[in-house]
Structure 1
Amino acid sequence: MLEVAAACAGRGVGGAMATVIERHGSAPGTPGQKLFLALDGTCVGTVGGGAIERAALEALMTLVRSEEGKHAVREFKLGPELGMCCGGRLSVLLEPIAALVPCLIVGAGHVATAVAPLLAKVGFAVTVVDEREEWGGESRIPSARCVTGEFDEIGREVDVRGACLVMTHDHQIDQRAIEWALRRGFAYVGGVGSRAKAERTRQRLEAKGVSEADRARVRMPIGVDIGARLPEEIAVSIAAELIAWRKRGR
């Protein structure tokens, strides 16, 4: 159960765990048994089956969908309310399993190579995509999933409650990627570029009918202003901005 929960969290998919901590009387379930439910529907384990498991799953689903879910101990009685007459009860610990924050990086160049491992170290589930074979190698960037392909195909696998960072080798691809990220509804959309490039990007968005609210959501140049110039310095500034965004509750 823990391996599945960790794998989901590592992909940016949150969940919740139910663990039997006490059994009283005639009741299914043994202390230590676990049931895990993820936001994407992944479900493994058991706390005893039957009506009591259905009630536990309902409690887990409520916890998974809540943004402010907290640990709690619930007591499930095997009485008329569950349609059972066993008479026993289970004490179950319900725990939210927080996920890493999903982050899609479009472009696997020098800045992406520097920032992806840094973001992975501070709690982001990073996917880097590049259309160029030589840049999208699977193991090229440590701690990040790095793949060759089209951003709009690979990006469908990334939860839009996360961030999309655009930093490709081509301004036209950057423009298309930013437009796509806004349409998909990523919570955070940012791009690497000069202030002049940022202004041109917003002008093109306006010409295509993108709303003022969405245009304002584009962070470009991305990163805290620390006078960064080198890719490693830019990576620090980007990581700082994303940490601040996450801490503000996204």
Structure 2
Amino acid sequence: MRDLVEDLLTWLGEGRRFAVASVVGTSGSAPREPGAALAVAEDGTAVGSVSGGCVEGAVYDLCLEALREGRVIRQTFGYSDDDAFAVGLTCGGIIDILVWPHTAEPAFRAHLDALAADEPVALARILPPAGATGSAGPPRALCITPSGEHTGSAGDAVIDRLVRAEAAAMLDSGRTGVRQVGCDGLEMFVESRMPPPRLLVFGAVDFAAALTRIGRFLGYHVTVCDARPVFATRRRFPDAHEVVVDWPHRYLERQHVDARTAVAVLTHDPKFDIPLLERALRTGARYVGAMGSRRTHDERLRRLREAGVTESELARLRSPIGLDLGARTPEEVAVSIAAELVAVRRGGTCRPLTTTAGPIHALTH
């Protein structure tokens, strides 16, 4: 959508009606990712693409149909073996398309304005049921910012709260895709513009290899950093987005660290840990954890105090790192660390759900 912003804002300014077709889901070797879009104005002008040409003509016609009939359309396109000239993807993939007739609804305009200003934002649109040809009535959408501010409505206050909570979580992860809202089968398509959160893993050890795998699975941009070039190699950490050879504290000083950053210190070596943690605890990182035994932890606290780290800064340190799962293997330890990361990020209690009451998913926005 971002590459269409200039054209769409111009169309809105001119009062032109248009429809936007967005890829909301794919399978197989589909040519475009979710979020790819084609926009068609009422005079037939088109910008963007949803398939690189395979089904562009059919989607173009759907946009004009959505404009004529004033309804949202959801349709799936795939390959047809029976007719090589049938509408379908010759690459063999399948794409799910959402066609949305736009006028000047507040949520969509707020989304475009945020994209034009290069600000993080998410647009959540309520989908017609899968397999349905479309839905009548005005489009239902909400625009959500990282602060929780929102524009627009899904038409129901309860649904709005659920949509905001789910969309905010997807925005925080920088993810685009379809999510279910509540337990009634209602679906929404969330289009996010936000870089993924960062997980900085210090210490090129076997525990780090397991943590990079699960960190990437959770949607983090994962960096492994170690001062020892023999250990910090791409071959040992194929799941990391970056493998950096540098002194950990020196590398951290050059990074932009914010509330969406997690720092995991797995070296348990004072010459690396102390200067690194001294700096990490003074950043805005939401999570700072360090591996080690109880004895290592006590010695680490003593050294950090000697280095001038205050008690309030030390209170931010999650050490020993992770939750008490009885973990022993690197993979199990990675799960315990990942569980703590999720709990800190989402405000979880870390208690078994059988011991809690009320909603399972907190409505944080």
TM-score by length of 1: 0.65
Q: 1:214 to 1:169 in 2, by over 3 A?
A: closer
Match of 1:159 in 2: 257
The counterpart of 2:299, out of the listed 200, 205, 208, is: 200
Q: 1:21 to 1:57 in 2, by over 3 A?
A: closer
What is the rounded CA distance, in whole Å, between the counterparts of 2:338 and 2:7 in structure 1?
36
What is the rounded CA distance, in whole Å, between the counterparts of 1:218 and 1:175 in structure 2?
12
What is the rounded CA distance, in whole Å, between the counterparts of 2:237 and 2:150 in structure 1?
35
What is the rounded CA distance, in whole Å, between the counterparts of 1:124 and 1:140 in structure 2?
19
Q: 1:126 to 1:18 in 2, by over 3 A?
A: farther
Maintained 8 Å contact 2:268/2:290:
no
Between 139-148 and 102-111, the greater mean CA deviation after superposition: 139-148
Q: 1:148 to 1:67 in 2, by over 3 A?
A: same
Q: 1:237 to 1:24 in 2, by over 3 A?
A: closer
Measured against aligned partners, the alpha-carbon deviations of 1:178-215 in whole angstroms (never above 9, x if no partner) come to 11211333221110001111111112222232211111
Maintained 8 Å contact 1:20/1:31:
no
**More helix by percentage:** 1
Match of 2:246 in 1: 149
| Unaligned ranges ≥5, structure 1 | 5-16, 34-51, 74-93
Aligned residues: CA RMSD: 3.9
Q: 1:130 to 1:25 in 2, by over 3 A?
A: closer
Maintained 8 Å contact 1:104/1:158:
no
The DSSP-based 3-state class of the residue aligned with 2:8 is: strand
TM-score by length of 2: 0.46
Q: What is the Cα deviation at residue 104 of structure 1?
A: 0.6
Maintained 8 Å contact 1:18/1:56:
no
Match of 2:323 in 1: 224
The DSSP-based 3-state class of the residue aligned with 2:296 is: helix
Asked which structure has the greater CA Rg, the reply is 2
Aligned residues: 201
Q: What is the Cα deviation at residue 113 of structure 1?
A: 0.9
The counterpart of 2:11, out of the listed 12, 18, 23, is: 23
Q: 1:132 to 1:59 in 2, by over 3 A?
A: same
Measured against aligned partners, the alpha-carbon deviations of 1:106-155 in whole angstroms (never above 9, x if no partner) come to 11111101111111101211111011112211343133122212223433
Letter in 1 for 2:255: E
Match of 2:177 in 1: none
Maintained 8 Å contact 1:72/1:95:
no
Maintained 8 Å contact 2:200/2:223:
yes
| Unaligned ranges ≥5, structure 2 | 22-108, 122-144, 154-189, 349-363
Maintained 8 Å contact 1:70/1:96:
no
What is the rounded CA distance, in whole Å, between the counterparts of 1:32 and 1:102 in structure 2?
32
Measured against aligned partners, the alpha-carbon deviations of 1:152-193 in whole angstroms (never above 9, x if no partner) come to 343323533211111116232112211121133322111000
Report which structure shows greater RCO (CA 8 Å, sep ≥6): 1
Match of 1:183 in 2: 282
What is the rounded CA distance, in whole Å, between the counterparts of 1:183 and 1:154 in structure 2?
15
Q: 1:72 to 1:180 in 2, by over 3 A?
A: same
Please tell me whether residue 108 in structure 1 is matched to residue 224 in structure 2.
Answer: no
Letter in 2 for 1:231: P
